[in-house]
Structure 1
């Protein structure tokens, strides 16, 4: 249901024009209904149907139908009078830079006044322009009407489907170009990723440190026990080390001491690596890794083979974007 905001209507400095808009809107609706009815009545079958079932209506309307142009010209004269008044007001108020701009900007008002054939139905454009103007000044709110919501839903659904297909097509084309080694890959690497190499290193450094702190530090004891067990099993399966136990007197002691020492060394090395990753000191290590993926442009041009790791990374990112784009948001509104 279309509601009129009476407060905005009363406080507006264009109250008289809004009143005229409502009057014109009513006349346009009546005139369009008159045109549609006369177009339907123009069929002989309809006239015969009325003659059989509603002869009074046919008797009253038939003279009007024969003089349809005359009655339509009454509406046209009112519309043209209102058009000329608004044109004069726009000249006086200097709404447009030139006095002759008004009829060009409001061309649909003139074309709709042509009382010939399908030009009459262009008066619907004037209805739309009046409704839009009233909505723009917040006198009415068409967005709350069921009709607007109905058409807007299917319009948004159509635009989403269309835009999704276009975006997916473009992204697929970009992936093909990247696989084929087009300049697009070089631009992504040298003009987008390389200038942000420090930012990527900083971000990856923080993420690795957080992951190491959350995953390693709470399980430090269990990890050390696991490493020592695995190293002990590996040493026992080593043939050269197992021969030490055959040495007289000291063989078994040397073997046991060596196993403990190797296990302790391996565990300490792993722990030290994980502790370094969990601290801020991992930045240099992460930066070296990023530099391998993103060498300087001069170094990259000297390479013959393309950076396959970076190519795969970009393609996977585009795949993730395509997956997200392919989500149909409009379908969720149906549930």
Structure 2
């Protein structure tokens, strides 16, 4: 239900103008109802039906219908008077930079006053402008009405469905262009990816370092124990190494020493790799990987270029598919009761 905020009405210091707005709003609603009724009454079947139901009402309204333009002009006279008064106030208060700006900005008020045919129904625009002005000053809040919520919900749903279909259509077209080997792929590679190689390398380097710090550093002890156990089990299953224990005197000692050394070496190597990845020293390594995927044109041969292009096209296709999957999600359905 639409409620009037009387406190904001008093604070606005425009009580007189808002009172006029409410009066004009009431007159506009009455006038539009009058126009709609007279338009419907213009059909002969309606006149005959009303005459059979209530001849007195039909007889009373017949002269009004014949002189409808006269009665409508009475409303127009009131609307034009109110328009001129507001125009005079705008000039006096210097609301706009030029005195003649007002009728251009409020053109819908003038057009709605034309008492000819369908122009009359443009008075709906004036109703909307009054309601919007009252809403802007927080005198009323039509966003809390059931009608507004109903219209807003289905309007958003319509826009989401429409935009989703358009976006999916565009993305599918991009995929087709990539598969056909259009200049789009070359522009993506040459104009977008290559100039940003350093940025991509820095971003990947930072992400890898963060992942290594968060995933490895807190669990280095557990990872080392796991690696040593796995290496120890693998060495015990090695047939050649197991034969060392048959050497007299030193065989078991050599076997045990080798197992410890290999396990320690593997754990240290993995530890050093992850330590390097967790710091800024991984940048050169990441940069080499980026160079493999995005080599400079002069560094490519034809065969390598085709393979890399196919890999990059496949990567771009997967990214676009992921975007399309997300676009297909209907968020408005989640808001349904």
Fold match, TM over 0.5?
Answer: yes
Query: Is residue 2:190 matched to residue 1:190?
Result: no
SS of equivalent residue, structure 1 residue 295: helix
How many residues are treated as equivalent by the alignment?
A: 327
Question: What is the match of residue 289 of structure 2?
Answer: 293
Query: Is residue 2:4 matched to residue 1:4?
Result: yes
Aligned CA distance change for structure 1 residues 325 and 138 (closer, same or farther; 3 Å) = same
Equivalent positions of 1:98-109 (< 5 A) are 98-109=98-109
The whole-number CA distance in structure 2 between the counterparts of 1:201 and 1:115 is 72
Equivalent positions of 1:78-93 (< 5 A) are 78-93=78-93
Question: What is the match of residue 110 of structure 2?
Answer: 110
Equivalent positions of 1:83-162 (< 5 A) are 83-162=83-162
Structure 1 unaligned runs (5+)? none
**1:107-126 deviation digits (Å, cap 9, x = unpaired):** 11111111111111111011
Structure 2 unaligned runs (5+)? none
The whole-number CA distance in structure 2 between the counterparts of 1:329 and 1:157 is 8
> Which of 208, 212, 221 is the matching residue for 1:208?
212
Question: What is the match of residue 268 of structure 1?
Answer: 264
Question: What is the match of residue 17 of structure 2?
Answer: 17
Query: Is residue 2:35 matched to residue 1:35?
Result: yes
**1:124-167 deviation digits (Å, cap 9, x = unpaired):** 01101111111111111111011111111011112222222333
The two structures have a TM-score, normalised by structure 2, of 0.85
The two structures have a TM-score, normalised by structure 1, of 0.86
Aligned CA distance change for structure 1 residues 169 and 259 (closer, same or farther; 3 Å) = farther
The whole-number CA distance in structure 1 between the counterparts of 2:77 and 2:280 is 83
The whole-number CA distance in structure 2 between the counterparts of 1:277 and 1:168 is 42
Equivalent positions of 1:25-64 (< 5 A) are 25-64=25-64
> Are the counterparts in 1 of residues 244 and 254 from structure 2 also a CA contact under 8 Å?
no
Question: What is the match of residue 328 of structure 1?
Answer: 330
Runs of 4+ aligned structure 1 residues displaced above 6 Å come to 241-245
